[in-house]
Amino acid sequence: MERNDFQAPGTLETDSVEVRTLSPDDLAWMVRIDAEHSGRSRTPYYQLKLAKAQRDTGVRVSLAALVHGEPAGFLMARTYHGEFGLPEPVAVLDSIAVSRAASGHHVGEALLRQLVVNLRALGIATIQTQVEWEQMALIGFFQHEGFRPAARLCLELSLD
């Protein structure tokens, strides 16, 4: 995919990205894009996540992105109402991936923009996510999109 840096007045950098709800037919390319980044195929994992996303009702928070009709990325989130002692509803972004071929086409930005629109329609004002400390490019992306460290501490207990 070739990037065109010219932007006509009144257009957004994300206008060339089509964003829609994920469908069961998206599984194969989701797994392929995820494997580009993780180095392994996680088909069973995404089968379960996609099936759950399809069962959820209301405004969709699991999205697919296409550039020039080609699969370019996806985002999966879910909403919680009162978990972890939070009195207000919150969305948790647990998966986002953009194909290497679509890099530079503002796919992640387009996915997040649509997610924000959908979440606002649900009355949700906060999105949370977790990023591994070593994933500096992803941390930079989230920082660019306005994410900041939360005032909560994530704890874990190793069972090894």
Does 32 map to a domain?
yes
Q: What is the mean pLDDT of residues 15-26?
A: 91
pTM of the predicted protein model: 0.82
Measured CA to CA in angstroms, residue 62 lies from 2, 12, 32, 96 at distances of 27, 22, 17, 10
Question: Binning pLDDT at 50, 70 and 90, where does residue 3 land?
Answer: very low
Does 11 map to a domain?
no
Question: 22, 112, 99, 28: which is closest to 68 by C-alpha?
Answer: 99
43 touches 31 (CB < 8 A): yes
Q: What is the mean pLDDT of residues 89-110?
A: 93
pLDDT at 128 over 80: yes
Does 87 map to a domain?
yes
Domain count, the chain: 1
110 touches 17 (CB < 8 A): yes
Write out the residue range of the structural domain in which residue 84 sits: 17-144
Does 7 map to a domain?
no
Residue 20, C-beta contacts closer than 8 angstroms, at least 6 positions apart: 63, 64, 66
Burial class (CB in 10 A: 0-12, 13-18, 19+), 108: buried
Q: What is the mean pLDDT of residues 109-113?
A: 96
CATH number at residue 84: 3.40.630.30
